Amino acid sequence: MVPDRFLPPLALLAGASVWGVIWYPYRLLNAAGLDGLWSTALTYGTALVACTLLFARHWRDVLRAPWGLALLAAVIGWSNLAYVLGVLEGEVMRVLLLFYLAPLWTVPLAWFLLGERLGVRGAGAMALALAGAAVMLWRPELGAPWPAGRAEWLGVAAGFLFAVGNVLIRRIQHVHEVTKTLAIFAGVTIAALAHLASSSVGAAAAAPLALANAGLVIGVGLALVAMSLALQYGITRLPANRAIVILLFELVVAAIASWLLAGEVLHFRDAIGGLLIATATLVAAIEPKP
């Protein structure tokens, strides 16, 4: 029997580990013929249905902050869709580290939208994140940092939108976490469905492919629900600075998984940039003394 005090960190480790490898099933679905738009719509749609069956009563809480939840659903919906498309098109760790640039955006957004003071800690987090991005994205031919392709732009966009979503979550703290999760699952599903017209796979071709890979689709959808519940359980029971340290384990899992499963190797410059970005995340999570 695991002591109760170990359950929150173990839940965070489990959630971080799932998020660190969740890209791989999407690559399998892509190889099977379901592109990122279809696989995102199907898996998050499955998660939405499963979460609704488990927590249907929480939909009533939408009335407590309808516009805030709608905006949250839209922002995180675009963020998760961009992340899935990014890891399908580019190198997993580069896209993930660019996604982790959240402190670069969160600090000024929190100052502008929530009235939080920038302070030395926030300025330091922004500087470290900016330095990490500059190291990773430096283009000698341009003499400046710049994303190399669509996948990296998607990673940057996903991180920015995720930062906006984090600020929105803090604006609607009176809404239950499960209700926010339902809104997010709905947002990602709707974002993917809205773009299906641009998919190279038509509905007639996608239907038999979805049936043939139904086990994988349902598995990913249920994994998304389990990961969300695990993260909520851990985050609500641990101090923010401890939680973020554990959540950074996702980067370790993703680095190992991308090497073993996809043969991708993290280059030295990317490792240095990633270390600066991870440090920025830690600095941003430090709670000032009262």
- E-only strand ranges, the chain: 138-139, 144-145
How confident is the model at residue 264, as a pLDDT?
94
How confident is the model at residue 240, as a pLDDT?
65
Domain that holds residue 66: 4-285
Residue 109: closest CA among 52, 69, 36, 159: 159
In angstroms, the CA 52 to CA 59 distance is 8
Evaluate whether residue 149 is within a structural domain. Answer: yes
Are 152 and 145 within 8 A, CB to CB? no
Residue 15 tokens read as 């959630």
Evaluate whether residue 239 is within a structural domain. Answer: yes
Burial of 182 (0-12, 13-18, 19+ CB in 10 A): buried
Residue 36: closest CA among 219, 243, 206: 206
Per-position pLDDT tens, the chain of length 290: 657 777 888 998 999 999 999 999 999 999 999 999 999 999 999 999 999 999 999 999 898 899 999 999 999 999 999 999 999 999 999 999 999 887 788 778 877 777 777 678 778 888 888 898 899 988 887 777 878 889 999 999 999 998 888 888 878 888 888 999 999 999 999 999 999 999 999 999 999 999 999 999 999 999 999 999 898 888 778 776 677 778 888 999 999 999 999 999 888 989 999 999 889 888 877 665 54
In angstroms, the CA 177 to CA 48 distance is 14
Evaluate whether residue 8 is within a structural domain. Answer: yes
Q: Is 145 left (phi over 0), alpha (psi -120 to 50) or beta?
A: beta
Longest Cα pair distance anywhere in the chain, in angstroms?
60
Residue 130: closest CA among 157, 169, 101, 167: 101
Tens digits of per-residue pLDDT, 68-102? 999 999 999 999 999 999 999 999 999 999 998 87
In angstroms, the CA 282 to CA 279 distance is 5
State how far the alpha carbon of 19 is from the alpha carbons of 74, 82, 94, 125, 227, in Å.
Answer: 20, 15, 15, 23, 8
Query: Cβ contacts of residue 167 below 8 Å, gap of 6+?
Result: 106, 109, 110, 113, 114
Q: How far is CA 221 from the centre of its chain?
A: 15
> What's the Rg (C-alpha) of the chain?
19
In angstroms, the CA 16 to CA 203 distance is 33
Give me the half-sphere count of Cα atoms (radius 13 Å) on the Cβ side of residue 59.
10
Evaluate whether residue 290 is within a structural domain. Answer: no
Evaluate whether residue 166 is within a structural domain. Answer: yes
Evaluate whether residue 51 is within a structural domain. Answer: yes
How confident is the model at residue 52, as a pLDDT?
96
**How many domains, in total, are found in the chain?**
1
How confident is the model at residue 32, as a pLDDT?
96
Residue 223 belongs to what H/E stretch?
helix 214-235
Residue 177: closest CA among 232, 225, 231: 232
How confident is the model at residue 2, as a pLDDT?
59
Q: Is 139 left (phi over 0), alpha (psi -120 to 50) or beta?
A: beta
Evaluate whether residue 107 is within a structural domain. Answer: yes
Evaluate whether residue 174 is within a structural domain. Answer: yes
Give me the half-sphere count of Cα atoms (radius 13 Å) on the Cβ side of residue 132.
29
